[in-house]
Amino acid sequence: MKFIHPVKRGYLALETWFNLSFGNAWNPLYNLGTLTFFFFWVVFVSGLYLFIFFDTSLTGAYASVEYMTHDQWYVAGVMRSLHRYASDAAIITILLHMFREFALDRYRGFRWFSWVTGVPTLWFVITLGITGYWLVWDDLALYIAVQSSQLMDALPLMPASMSRNFLQSQINDRFFTLMGFLHLLGQPVILFFALWIHVKRLSDVSIVPPRGLAVGSFIALLVLSLLLPAVSHEAADITKAPAVLNVDWFYLNIYPLMDYWTEGQVWMLTLGITGFLMIMPWLPRKKTGQAAEVHLDECNGCEQCAMDCPFDAITVQKRTDGARWENEVVVNESLCAACGICVGACHSSNPFRHSQQELVTGIDMPQSSINSLRTNVESAINNLQGENKIIVFGCDNAINFTGLQSSSIAVVSFFCVGMIPPTMIEYALKKGADGVFVTGCRTGDCYFRHGNKWFDERLAGERQPILRKRANRARINIFRAAESDCKELRRELDRFQASLQQLDADHESVNEGGS
């Protein structure tokens, strides 16, 4: 049995519980990225509404916030609370997203870019929240302003003392208006570009969560806003120290440390954690397999592989070999994840082609060619014995399914289920398999992002290349499982084997009745 790290095992168990509670499609742990974008939209819309009533002057800011909170509690007050709680929810989903990528080892190798660009993006979100608290200009805002200025004073880049401005009450309307501009426009623009860079190497990126999950999340935020509305502290007053400060630990967690540590120590901790997170993808480095290779003699430039590539590693350009086709595809080796999804997308990967000679496809994986996979399928089927012979097509990055092998069950592994051409399933049935059992990453959680989705659409006839209607779907079973789902996988395989036996028995009964 394959060893599973305790952190990964625990996280997979948590996902299993969430699948039972929400279903695969609505599992929040499978939609952390899209949920973050959704919370950003709630923050953006509620922030625009609040800006209508907000006074950006030093003396008017607190009064305008109090008016929204108490006098217009039924709309603006709710909007303020939504703004606050959606901001906190975004931090929660970001942190869970980072932990998930770490627990499932999806932050190294070809994924290093997304991880490294995600770390500063988190800090952009946090600093945006800090300036938001600053604008309320209550006791907490003054505390944040003074502590932030002391942190800036500790940097050798700052020639003057910022904290002296607060201690001597030298902050004016112009400076406060500048802070409002920074929070309302400057920082959101920076965050927008940071998010764009973060997903730049991904294709077909969704920023919208499933509708039911979005509605449920919004209702939860709304209920929380009504039951526990966000309120301010007393108005900022430099002459007296506040008795109690309710710190938002999602955004303001470093400030209480300054009551015990020096500014330099706080900077060392912050920069140390950030630096460690940035170099994590190389501790140790994870190797990626050889990139896909294009064989122009078999490529008609249909562009399907480029559309299916989950990491935007395939581009289309004008034909260079003088063939009658208009376009050709090119693989960027530095972006290729070696998932093989492009092989499953290629029409030339049909194993029925050139059945008596080497099968060459338009785009292939050099370390595991479609010809070698066809040979493995043929050899595996030829070695099967007994009734109800089953061939299992599995994924290298999901469950270790080699233990399923027996005299009547053979296994063939692919880099991803998206690498399986639909015609390979037909080919296996044609060559003597009584059933084809396909397993791989859990539904909604493909290691290579879209392998499961594209595979399902191909079998449903919604995406090229399709599984033809003449294929006997009663002899095809799909069951997705993670490394902790061995028992469930075994039970499903036994059930499928029993269904094949019943199918054969029904077929014999029909034949006997006809004779």
Residues 163 and 95 both lie in one domain? yes
Q: Of 43, 73, 106, 37, nearest to 398 (Cα)?
A: 106
The pLDDT tens digits of the residues spanning 61-91 come to: 999 999 999 999 999 999 999 999 999 999 9
Q: Which of 279, 312, 332 is the endpoint of a domain?
A: 279
What pLDDT does residue 201 have? 93
Phi, psi of 504 (to 5 degrees): -65, -40
C-beta atoms surrounding 223 within 10 Å: 11
| Beta strand ranges found along 396-508 (DSSP E) | 409-414, 435-438, 476-478
3-state class (DSSP) for residue 435: strand
Question: Which pTM value belongs to this model?
Answer: 0.92
3-state DSSP helix/strand/coil % of the chain, to nearest 5: 55, 10, 40
pLDDT in tens, 363-390: 999 999 999 999 999 999 999 998 899 9
Q: Identify the burial level of 298 via C-beta atoms within 10 angstroms of its C-beta, where 0-12 means exposed, 13-18 middle and 19 or more buried.
A: middle
Q: What's the pLDDT tens digit per position in 90-126?
A: 999 999 999 999 999 999 999 999 999 999 999 999 9
Separation CA 212–CA 209 (nearest Å): 8
Mean pLDDT confidence for 9-29:
93
Residues 91 and 224 reside in one and the same domain:
yes
Q: State pLDDT tens for residues 408-422.
A: 999 999 999 999 999
Q: What is the pLDDT of residue 505?
A: 84
Question: For 234, which DSSP code?
Answer: S
pLDDT, greater one: 440 or 402? 440
Bridge partners of 410, per DSSP, are 391
Per-residue tokens: 196: 């764009």
Exposure b/e, 463-491, CB count within 10 A at least 16 = b = bbbebeeebeeebbbbbbbbbbbbeebee
Task: Label residue 514 by pLDDT band (50, 70, 90).
Answer: low
For residue 179, is it left (φ>0), alpha (ψ between -120 and 50) or beta? alpha
Domain count, the chain: 2
Residue 160 has pLDDT above 80, yes or no: no
Q: Which of 155-159, 308-312, 400-404 has the highest mean pLDDT?
A: 308-312
Examine the domain organization and report whether 337 and 368 are in the same domain: yes
How many CB atoms are located within 10 Å of the residue 52 CB? 9
- Segment 496-514 mean pLDDT: 79
pLDDT digits (tens, 9 = 90+) for 201-224: 999 999 999 999 999 999 999 999
CB 448 within 8 A of CB 341: yes
C-alpha dist (Å) from residue 253 to 45, 87, 129, 504: 26, 15, 12, 65
Q: String of b and e for 126-161 (b: at least 16 CB within 10 Å)?
A: bbbbbbbbbbbbbbbbbbbbbbbbbbeeeeeeeeee
Last residue of a domain, one of 226, 254, 279: 279
Residue-number span of the structural domain to which 140 is assigned: 31-279
pLDDT score, position 170: 64
Q: Is residue 21 part of a domain?
A: no
DSSP secondary-structure letter at 468?
A: P
Do 317 and 458 reside in the same domain of the chain? yes
DSSP H helix total and E strand total for the chain: 17, 8
* Residues 103, 87: Cα–Cα separation, whole Å: 24
| Residue 15 in domain | no
Separation between Cα atoms, residue 372 and residue 204, nearest integer Å: 30
- CATH number of the domain residue 80 falls in: 1.20.810.10
Residue 3 lies in a domain: no
Of 279, 311, 344, the residue that ends a domain is: 279
Instruction: Evaluate whether residue 453 is within a structural domain.
Output: yes
